[in-house]
Amino acid sequence: MNNNTYYLFFTNLANPLKMDIIFCLRDKEKNVSEIIKECGVEQSKVSHALSSLKACNIVQVKQEGKERIYFLNKDTIVPMLKLIEKHANVHCKCKCCDNETCGRRKK
């Protein structure tokens, strides 16, 4: 294990579309067309995002006919999101991250 492991993992998640996809898969596995429709973005964009999420095993795939069903590997990501939620509840009561307070643009 080295520092690359950690920052590359974070880099993979540092993207609003990928967050959308993760939330979209939180309750139920879905094929790409469904993800596209729910997220409301262009096909190849979703495909690229899924591809890098898959590379880090954040999502996994199975083939069913001509569809590919993506599902979330919840072991890591779900507790991780909970940690952020807790963190934000404690530290971002100022609507931080929802405005400019954290020094970053929102999407």
Partner DNA sequence: AATACATATGAATTAGATTTCATATGAATA
Partner DNA sequence: TATTCATATGAAATCTAATTCATATGTATT
Q: Which residues bind DNA (CB under 7 A)?
A: 11-12, 14-18, 31-33, 36, 41-52, 61, 63, 65-68, 104-105, 107
Please compute Rg for the chain using Cα positions: 15
Q: Scan residues 14-73 and list those touching its own copies (CB under 8 A).
A: 14-16, 18-20, 23, 51-52, 55-57
Tokens of 80: 């991780």
Q: How far is CA 76 from CA 45, 81, 82, 84, 93, in A?
A: 24, 9, 10, 13, 26
Among 9, 32, 34, 41, binds its own copies (CB under 8 A): 9
The residues binding its own copies (CB under 8 A) are 1-16, 18-20, 23, 51-52, 55-57, 75-76, 79-81, 83-92, 96-98, 101-104, 106-107
